[in-house]
């Protein structure tokens, strides 16, 4: 069921935040579409949390403007913005029961008791907290506390929900089930979600778009597939996952990409509309391992070094005759028994895989 | 293994020995007096609880202690708030205001209040000189003086547990409340105060227990007109032959204090009481 959330579009233009000489954020411009699930991704200290605090109204930017559905809200304090927010560590009220925690934002708004009761009951069912209404946060598990924080942030049907590294304290299994939960809540409510994390797999799994931050600057913003497969720079490429760098010689632009040589192997890369250079990059799982040279596509010869078993996937360290170390990752079920350390193999990939940096 | 248990024992030993010799043994003596002087039995306890004068002193003591506790905790809450959440300059000033009284003897402080509050004291002189009052205000040799003097002494003790409770709060909880649209006043009353309640209760009980045993301050500022229980015990033991009665009152006071301490330990964990 879609509820009464009215999703909002947020536009940041030229947002900057300086503390003395230190620039926590520089010139951030982006639009968060209504109903979007935007993830702000970056290492700690990259400015992503500062940007979230500015969106929430807890921090004021030193430059730039912030608009909500076109109206300037740069100077509007947090208490007047009434965006929902889920904090790292949940920030639940420890002296209140689950019910009281969730009812608090509604009481602040001065809603009628019957109305509050109805809204609280609905959201308790929605986040699966039935039976825990009378408990204090200290009597709940991490995942349950997380649900209370989500319920409390969503119960007043905010137009924007901000989430600041909400899953950082949860173990891996709970994390993925909470990710599912958040994704479902996003679909059900249709609210604009802005999610901060430093976990790239979480970002890729959840978002409609990802904005990647580093050193206070927005490095790239795009769909998970865009930023993963067509990263704008080396930082984005490496932050989102492992990547192999191949230096090509004799690079020539072609109609739909480029041609060049890597250790004597011809490479034809199809990358329409992309910038072309001698720095070619390809992700470990985009390469396929062959015992014999494949009939088509790009390929290079290498010797297997160490092998790491990761469960569903297996990772191979490869060394080219030129001494370049590469990583190749493939599904474990496709690993052939011949793939043993010291063995000469071929690594190949189709022309449309990989990118230039 | 053996030395692991021996070391703490050695470290604690002198304290236990001192407390045993200086407090426990004399107190056992007092307990003995209470059931042997002037005759063997519990007659002095009967007298202590039925004598209207002693009853009225107990009642006055509880009333004064309650007023002192409420006022001291309220003042300490404000001081602790500035101390924990103020600007660096405010914190420094507050810290000095909390610590300096500790370095001044309780006797000096009591006489200081007399100098300020007495009929020919600073305050009355100034107010009269300014023409605000014609007759001096009676501020000492009554309960007002006693309450003021005791409060002054006890406020710092109440500040520590409250400040400790305030320091342990997660700032994000207040951000969360603000983000939901709550006003500062609302955050203070519905979030901040309830979350510091253990500190408030701990401070209150500690102040109350301390106040019950106050002797010098009420003796000086009450001027014999506002006698509290400790002063009554002193009078019974040193200025009258009723040693048994004085001892019985002491034991009763000790039991009350003990009961309150047990309550305090149940309500607040001892490590939360330390700043």
What pLDDT does residue B150 have? 93
B179 with A82: Cβ contact below 8 A: yes
Name which of A56, A88, A95 is nearest B179 (Cβ-Cβ).
Answer: A56
3-class secondary structure, A49? helix
The enclosing domain of B238 has a CATH number of: 1.10.3720.10
B178 with A58: Cβ contact below 8 A: yes
What order of strands is seen across the sheet that includes strand A298-309? A288-290, A344-349, A298-309, A313-319, A325-331
User: CA of A166, closest CA in chain B: separation in Å?
Assistant: 13
Q: Are A28 and A66 in contact (CB under 8 A)?
A: no
Contacts of A254 (CB under 8 A, 6+ apart): A268
Name which of B175, B183, B194 is nearest A87 (Cβ-Cβ).
Answer: B175
Taking CA atoms, what residue in B is nearest to A95? Answer: B195
How far apart (Å, rounded) are the C-alpha atoms in residues A220 and A241?
15
Taking CA atoms, what residue in B is nearest to A155? Answer: B180
In order of their start, the domains of chain A are 10-239 (3.40.50.300), 244-356 (2.40.50.100)
How far apart (Å, rounded) are the C-alpha atoms in residues A315 and A325?
13
**pTM of the predicted protein model:** 0.82
The values of phi and psi at residue B70, to 5°, are -60, -50
Instruction: Kindly state the average pLDDT of the residues A221-244.
Output: 94
B72 part of a folded domain: yes
B35-70 pLDDT, tens digit each? 988 888 888 899 888 999 999 999 999 999 999 999
3-class secondary structure, B189? helix
A61-74 pLDDT, tens digit each? 999 999 999 999 99
Which two three-digit tokens encode residue A229?
């497969």
How far apart (Å, rounded) are the C-alpha atoms in residues A293 and A157?
58
Alpha carbon separation from B27 to A235, B99, B216, B239, B251 (Å, rounded): 75, 32, 20, 20, 9
A57 with B194: Cβ contact below 8 A: no
Q: Angle formed by the axes of helices B229-238 and B243-267, to 10°? A: 150
User: Partners of A172 in the beta sheet?
Assistant: none
ipTM given for this complex: 0.81
pLDDT band at B235 (very low <50, low <70, confident <90, very high): confident
Residue B183 contacts A where some CB pair is shorter than 8 Å:
yes
Let me know if A144 is exposed, middle or buried by CB neighbors in 10 A (0-12, 13-18, 19+).
middle
How far apart (Å, rounded) are the C-alpha atoms in residues A21 and A19?
6
What pLDDT does residue A4 have? 53
Domain housing B146: 64-157+203-268
B177 part of a folded domain: no
Which two three-digit tokens encode residue A126?
């929605």
B181 with A79: Cβ contact below 8 A: yes
- How many CB atoms neighbour CB A131 within 10 A? 9
B180 with A156: Cβ contact below 8 A: yes
Residues of A near B (Cβ–Cβ under 8 Å) read: 56-58, 77-85, 87-89, 91-95, 104-105, 108-109, 152, 156
What pLDDT does residue A176 have? 87
Query: What residues in A contact B183, CB-CB < 8 Å?
Result: 79
């Amino acid at each position: 069921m879609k509820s009464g959330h009215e999703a909002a579009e947020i536009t940041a233009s030229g947002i900057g935040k300086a503390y003395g000489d230190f620039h926590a954020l520089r010139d951030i411009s982006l639009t968060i579409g209504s109903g979007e699930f935007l993830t702000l991704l970056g290492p700690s200290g990259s400015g992503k949390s500062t940007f979230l605090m500015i969106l929430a109204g807890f921090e004021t930017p030193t430059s730039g403007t912030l608009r909500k559905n076109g109206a300037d809200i740069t100077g509007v304090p947090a208490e007047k913005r009434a965006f929902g927010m889920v904090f790292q560590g949940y920030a639940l009220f420890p002296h209140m029961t689950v019910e009281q925690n969730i009812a608090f934002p509604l009481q602040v708004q001065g809603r009628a008791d019957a109305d509050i009761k109805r809204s609280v009951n609905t959201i308790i069912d929605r986040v699966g907290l039935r039976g825990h209404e009378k408990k204090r946060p200290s009597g709940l598990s991490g995942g349950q506390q997380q649900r209370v924080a989500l319920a409390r942030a969503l119960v007043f049907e905010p137009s924007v929900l901000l989430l600041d590294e909400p899953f950082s304290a949860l173990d891996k299994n709970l994390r993925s089930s909470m990710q599912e939960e958040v994704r479902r809540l996003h679909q059900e409510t249709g609210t604009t979600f802005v999610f901060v994390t430093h976990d790239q797999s979480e970002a890729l799994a959840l978002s409609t778009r990802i904005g990647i931050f580093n050193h206070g600057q927005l490095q790239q913003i795009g769909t998970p597939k865009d930023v993963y497969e067509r990263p704008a720079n080396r930082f984005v490429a490496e932050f989102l996952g492992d990547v192999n760098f191949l230096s090509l010689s004799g690079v020539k632009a072609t109609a739909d990409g480029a041609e060049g040589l890597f250790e004597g192997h011809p490479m034809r890369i199809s990358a329409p509309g992309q910038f072309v250079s001698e720095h070619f990059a390809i992700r470990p799982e985009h390469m396929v391992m062959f015992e014999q040279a494949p009939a088509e596509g790009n390929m290079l010869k290498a010797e297997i070094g160490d092998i790491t078993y990761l469960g569903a996937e297996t990772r191979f360290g490869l060394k080219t005759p030129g001494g370049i170390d590469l990583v190749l990752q493939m599904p474990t079920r496709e690993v052939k028994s011949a793939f043993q350390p010291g063995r000469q193999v071929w690594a190949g990939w189709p022309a449309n895989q990989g990118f230039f940096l | 293994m053996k030395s692991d248990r021996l070391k703490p024992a050695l470290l604690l030993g002198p304290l236990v020995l001192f407390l045993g010799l200086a407090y426990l043994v004399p107190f056992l003596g007092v307990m003995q007096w209470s059931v042997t002087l002037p005759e063997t039995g519990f007659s002095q306890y009967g007298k202590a609880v039925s004598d209207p004068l002693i009853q009225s002193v107990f009642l006055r003591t509880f009333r004064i202690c309650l007023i002192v506790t409420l006022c001291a905790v309220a003042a300490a809450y404000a001081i602790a708030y500035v101390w924990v959440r103020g600007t660096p300059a405010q914190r420094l000033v507050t810290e000095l205001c909390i610590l300096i009284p500790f370095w001044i003897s309780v006797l000096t402080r009591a006489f200081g209040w007399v100098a300020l509050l007495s009929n020919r004291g600073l305050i009355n002189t100034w107010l009269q000189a300014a023409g605000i009052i014609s007759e001096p205000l009676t501020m000492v040799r009554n309960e007002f003086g006693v309450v003021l003097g005791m409060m002054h002494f006890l406020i710092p003790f109440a500040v520590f547990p409250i400040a400790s409770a305030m320091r342990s709060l997660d700032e994000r909880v207040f951000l969360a409340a603000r983000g939901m649209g709550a006003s500062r006043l609302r955050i203070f009353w519905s979030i901040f105060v309830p979350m510091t309640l253990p500190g408030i209760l701990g401070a209150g009980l500690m102040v109350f227990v301390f106040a019950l045993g106050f002797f010098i301050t009420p003796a000086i500022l009450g001027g014999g007109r506002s006698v509290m229980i400790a002063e009554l015990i002193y009078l019974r033991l040193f200025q009258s032959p009723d040693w048994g009665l004085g001892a019985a009152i002491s034991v009763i006071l000790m039991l009350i204090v003990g009961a309150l301490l047990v309550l305090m330990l149940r309500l607040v964990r001892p490590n939360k009481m330390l700043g």
